[in-house]
A and B are shown apart, each in its own frame.
Chain A
């Protein structure tokens, strides 16, 4: 049953702990005109939580305001593909019209992206859609789809440039039948 013969006093708390719990020492008078560094408030530092709760509470936005906000946001999303358009145009122009793996991949992406986006139009806007802005959202969605279609059109133009669209007579000549003469002549073998 050992009892400590000479129990040592507990070590003093570290300085930072002391400073945290005690308010900073009052400033000397001659320094009282020096402003605190931005973001430091002597009262707050002392007062802690009690002080903040005393600040006036922010007024929650009204339903209308959120609707407007959401609509703004959705317009931003809807017009985003349009901003891609010039870049894609330059890329398609630069990649050339020969049938190569890169130009083909680019064309594939040009088709894949817009088609996927169009398919996912509703899910893109679900978070931003509310009861109030439902009517206006239709226009937004239409714009979004329109923008994607412009990208698609770019893709079509690109494959047209590559000569992959059956737009010339030569593409259909194989489907044209030979004119058959009803009479047939036979010659000596």
Chain B
């Protein structure tokens, strides 16, 4: 403690800005540049330019990110976000709260969710995407936006197609874009794909809700759903003239619940089936004939899912593959579609396999070939007969089973096939296999990370326990204990001696990076995604995946709430699913408890024997699994109700008593509740001033900071969480409360950031960062009303809750901050850094704490004593120095949470950011790496010098001895 205080004093005097050195960038940090889990319909291989044969993988993911990936190494060539801002992840606060009123909610429901689609035509040089109400064309090579067309407000694009333009290709592009949008009565718009200009528009005034577009070489079909009152499940199909968009003819067709519309150059068709289908109805658009296809097989179980894969070759007839899945296995039926007679005939079936599989279609010489991917092998079927023509064993099963896949098949010679498969596994991993061998894999499930926790290396803990024992025993017993321990350790001596030479040589040869890994400790990072995966990342190995686990019976609604790590066991609390315990070292399941799986949060409190997990129900009430399983008496919890609008203080133990409730006032909402980090050591209880007097810090582990927003103002409340007393509050008028107001609380200070006016007189707004420091008393050397005794106190005893003396300063920053966090080190000696996410720059920065000192002198130069204290003149604008950027030149998109953890080295703190899309990790040394030998240290030179000195001594010693003897004889 004393040493700590001295050290921290020394360290705080190191005020130079630490930055990432050029040789550290890309070595100490790691970044998974993600796209999100690719969607089946919007992922394909495509050649971006006509001049080259090389193709890229294009996708629009579930996160509405459009991007191109190099199939050779899996690196992102370009990516763009279609949704701005990124879609919010499911957070603890329920979605309904986020929408202010019911009207808006209703409006949103009528529009329906934003649908994404991606279109590309060979040789056109661009890809066209639609999402929400925007249609955009992107340069296929570099992802630059060529043009964008916005549909009228509130009209989502339902479907889009590329059709041949039929114009002179020298002046305009060879294809046009056909877009369907609207809610009641759709509009079909034909856009020139080179400029986005409208060619023609067709408006449907019938009031039917538009659904699909389809096209063949000769015609365009517009499919709309009749209102349920008139006729349930009936579709109106209208064919349109390609030249001018005039309505040709139309007819109404009755189909089943689940409808798919597929376009091929020769035939477009609509298919429908019930929820648990035995058969399927297919209609070739343009005819009235409805073909019923029987899908049932004997003894294969009930059909659960049916999907259609079109195999559109140039030749007629077109093929469709119907992929039928039962509970245990799957098979496929291939049908021929005769566009002339509008008949659908069964061609052949592909065999039933008792495994999960995925199908992909690829066109070779204008003929569709079907590829079947299972966990074991890849089979390529002949297009004509359905016989396997090529088979490749897989060297690695997919994560959670094959989800969907895209294949690129090359035929060399007569029967020598080569295949490249891009597969998106159910677990969210995107892999590319060449002839069955894994080329790369992208962990796209990490785009959905909602919770993360650090796992400590447990191997050193036994020693720590023993040392702890020795520290607390009487000297004699401790000594004998230590002696025994060393005697026990002797058995490892021979082995240690054996490996000594090799460890010495390896110690000389290993790079600095490897030595540092040993110094920092072997921490693992376990993350849980909203889609039910648990993944362990190794921060020491550039964030490589150590293990991954898919939750059993994960559902779309399940949502990981909290991760808790204890003794090498990860406990994951998943709302609506249950509690999973996983071995942290290898990811194996230990147990899975599905009882009482509804909770919005989890609090771990110490119990008499083992830590007790309190689950927070929707109304904020803490519960334990068993009545007997309770925390120690005098344990207090702070909970937040599911709506987020109530913060409650509880005393738990044998009975749970609600002590206080903090509710948002009428017309305001609680947006943020933060407490001090669980691990937040303070090295010095006071701040030493220039004249060597001490300002005592207001240190309470029970502080909680609540942000409550109104229409155009917000208030920050600092509460004592035991009694619920408000210790401090500040209201900012004319602030933008629609953007996030991040805040962080640590040690004896808190900061928050917002966009608002800086003073009441001027209307101009700016991004501001406010820092508030809390002290016991405004007078130096005074420990406040509680006096100088360092005795323990109870929050409930009269006069024990004192209001802190606060010192505040605010700074203007040039960038909005969306999330804040603070670095943590083992003992809190190292000065802290404020970690902030800058969403506009896609960056993470670390602002040194000394810059944010509210005692900086305003409008005058600092006095000598203030300089000694490390204070310098206040300037209202806080420049975000490029040296602050932890993400340096990387584009770290959508970080919504940053966590930090101490390492074995006091100087170093690990940082990990996740949440929206990317995951990023690095390590920071806020006071420089003061406990590690620098790069300038030359191990070889040192050893060489010692060796040379030893050699010199060895040579000179006999000479000196001889001389001494001679001198003795001479006298």
Residues of chain A touching chain B, judged by Cβ–Cβ distance below 8 Å, are 163, 168-171, 173-189
Contacts and interface: CB of A to CB of B under 8 A. Distances in A.
Contacts of A169: 686, 692-694, 780-781
B722 A181 contact: yes
B701 A185 contact: yes
A174 B3 CA distance: 8
B570 interface: no
Nearest to A180: B792
A180 B693 CA distance: 23
A182 to B, nearest CB: 5
A171 B685 CA distance: 13
Contacts of A182: 634, 792-795
Contacts of B794: 181-183
Contacts of A180: 792-793
B324 interface: no
B520 interface: no
B795 A183 contact: yes
21 contacts: A168-B693, A170-B689, A173-B5, A173-B684, A174-B1, A174-B6, A177-B685, A178-B682, A178-B685, A178-B790, A181-B702, A183-B634, A184-B702, A185-B638, A185-B649, A185-B704, A186-B635, A186-B637, A187-B704, A189-B562, A189-B564
A180 B794 CA distance: 9
B790 A177 contact: yes
Contact of A179 (B6, B563, B634, B793): B793
Contacts of A175: 2
Interface of B: 1-2, 4-6, 453, 562-564, 601-605, 614, 616, 634-640, 649, 675, 678, 682, 684-686, 688-689, 691-694, 699-702, 704, 721-722, 780-781, 786, 788-796
A185 B636 contact: yes
Contacts of A176: 685-686, 788, 790
B688 A173 contact: yes
Contact of A186 (B6, B636, B694, B700): B636
Q: Which 3 residue pairs across A and B have the least CB separation, nearest first?
A: A177-B790, A168-B692, A174-B5
A186 B602 contact: no
Contacts of B701: 181, 184-185
Given A168-B693, A169-B693, A174-B1, A185 B721 contact: yes
A180 B792 CA distance: 5
A153 to B, nearest CB: 22
B573 to A, nearest CB: 9
Contacts of B691: 168
Contacts of A168: 691-693
Contacts of B694: 169-170, 173
Contact of A187 (B5, B603, B688): B603
A123 to B, nearest CB: 36
Given A182-B795, A183-B794, 14 more contacts: A169-B693, A169-B780, A170-B686, A170-B689, A178-B682, A179-B793, A181-B702, A181-B793, A183-B796, A184-B636, A185-B636, A187-B638, A187-B678, A189-B563
A179 B791 contact: yes
Given A168-B692, A181-B701, A186 B792 contact: no
A181 B685 contact: no
Contacts of A173: 5, 684-686, 688, 694
A189 B636 contact: no
A163 to B, nearest CB: 8
A188 B793 contact: no
A177 B701 CA distance: 15
Nearest to A176: B790
Contacts of B563: 189
A168 B868 CA distance: 16
A189 B92 CA distance: 12
A188 B622 CA distance: 11
A24 to B, nearest CB: 54
A130 B113 CA distance: 114
Contacts of A178: 682, 685, 699, 790
Contacts of A171: 692
B698 to A, nearest CB: 10
Of the candidates A177, A180, A184, A188, the one having the most CB atoms from chain B within 10 angstroms of its own CB is: A188
Contacts of B634: 182-184
B692 A185 contact: no
A183 B702 contact: yes
Given A170-B693, A173-B694, A181 B795 contact: yes
B702 A185 contact: yes
A74 B264 CA distance: 124
B603 A188 contact: yes
Contacts of A186: 603-605, 614, 635-638
Nearest to A171: B692
B684 A174 contact: yes
A137 B685 CA distance: 55
A16 to B, nearest CB: 44
A171 B5 CA distance: 10
A170 B692 contact: yes
A183 B796 CA distance: 9
A183 to B, nearest CB: 5
A168 B780 CA distance: 11
A88 B69 CA distance: 79
Nearest to A183: B722
A178 B1 CA distance: 11
B601 A184 contact: no
